[in-house]
Amino acid sequence: MCPSIVADHHNRGFIIPIGGAERREKKPVILQRFVDLSGGPDSHIVIVPTASRADETGPNYIKVFENLGVENVEYLPITSREDCQNQAYAESLDRATGIFLTGGNQLRLSTILGGTVIAQSIRKRNAEGVPVAGTSAGASIMSEHMIASGEGNKTPKSDGVNLAPGLGLTNAAIIDQHFTQRNRLGRLFSATSYNPFLLGIGIDEDTAAFIGPDDMFEVVGSGSITIVDASNLTYSSMWQAGKGEALSLLGLKVDLLAKGCRYNISTRQAFAP
């Protein structure tokens, strides 16, 4: 799905994919910056813990945000498509000044939220200027084309990754998370080579891309973000490689961005701190 249309008098809100395992207690720089963008202590944060099967995920994040001084923080206990019809949840999102998607399983998230008023509301609120942050599965689902699954530690293969439609907050990139920690470069290479118009963004744990309305992002956190730009590929064996066969991809451009680096998704240019 393409991003919602941004009205003339609005800027789209920040999109903040986080690579999972972000710091939640001592010096939680990523979550603090998300709170600052959402309005600081006066913000109204709404947590969507649907990716997670654990009942405590929502309440735990309430404590995290309360510790950051946020007074208005709530979570939506959505665990089924039926729950998405609850009018009160849509009203909560209408009041939100920041929306947070927890980790878990991105297919659980997309199969429960996809096509419901909750998904529409998250997209609409972001187009109206509300920042949306998501960690781990919550980061993956942000893009139009979502990495649904695919083994780590594997040589890139034609069948090394499975895509599914995501929430579509951005359509210029495909996002992966726990990136270095779970050795997911192979599946990101496979994903970007399916159609090199997609920029690959691989985000380490405790690391985030703060993507502004101008499609420029800054890296925040302790790890790095790996950018895979396949747009200048001189050769790809993708379309003709047999099942399970190792891929050849010649001419990939890779940037490795640690905190303070910036990147323009539209022009595919990286900037040093």
Are 109 and 50 within 8 A, CB to CB?
A: yes
Residue of the chain from 64, 99, 261, 265 that contacts a second copy (CB under 8 A) = 261
Given CA atoms 102, 106, 109, 115 in this order, what sign does their dihedral have?
Answer: positive
- Reference 179, options 199, 152, 217, 211; nearest CA is 152
For the CB of residue 248, give the shortest distance to a second copy in the complex, in Å: 4
E strand segments, 127-231: 132-135, 145-149, 162-165, 173-176, 199-203, 207-211, 216-221, 225-229
For the CB of residue 89, give the shortest distance to a second copy in the complex, in Å: 37
Is 66 among the catalytic positions? no
Residue of the chain from 58, 186, 200, 212 that contacts a second copy (CB under 8 A) = 186
- Separation between Cα atoms, residue 195 and residue 122, nearest integer Å: 27
Residue nearer to a second copy on the CB measure, 266 or 269: 269
For the CB of residue 257, give the shortest distance to a second copy in the complex, in Å: 6
248 binds a second copy (CB under 8 A): yes
- Reference 146, options 166, 162, 125; nearest CA is 166
- Catalytic option among 205, 218, 224, 236: 205
For the CB of residue 236, give the shortest distance to a second copy in the complex, in Å: 9
Q: Contacts with a second copy in 63-102 (CB under 8 A)?
A: none
Residue nearer to a second copy on the CB measure, 144 or 206: 206
CB crowding 10-46: b at 16 or more within 10 Å, else e? eebbbbbbbbbbbbbeeebebbebbbebbbeeebbbb
- Separation between Cα atoms, residue 82 and residue 80, nearest integer Å: 5
Are 15 and 170 within 8 A, CB to CB?
A: yes
Are 16 and 134 within 8 A, CB to CB?
A: yes
Given CA atoms 78, 133, 140, 223 in this order, what sign does their dihedral have?
Answer: negative
What character string, x for contact with a second copy (CB under 8 A) and - otherwise, covers 226-245?
A: --------xx-x---x---x
195 binds a second copy (CB under 8 A): no
For the CB of residue 262, give the shortest distance to a second copy in the complex, in Å: 11
49 binds a second copy (CB under 8 A): no
For the CB of residue 92, give the shortest distance to a second copy in the complex, in Å: 36
What character string, x for contact with a second copy (CB under 8 A) and - otherwise, covers 208-227?
A: --------------xxx---
- CA distance readout (Å), 157 to 185, 186, 229, 237: 11, 8, 17, 10
* Residues paired with 218 in a beta bridge: 210, 262
Residue of the chain from 181, 194, 215, 216 that contacts a second copy (CB under 8 A) = 181
252 binds a second copy (CB under 8 A): yes
139 binds a second copy (CB under 8 A): no
Per CB under 8 A, residues contacting a second copy are: 152-156, 180-181, 183, 185-186, 189, 204, 207, 222-224, 234-235, 237, 241, 245-261, 270, 272-273
Q: Which residues have a catalytic role annotated?
A: 136, 178, 205
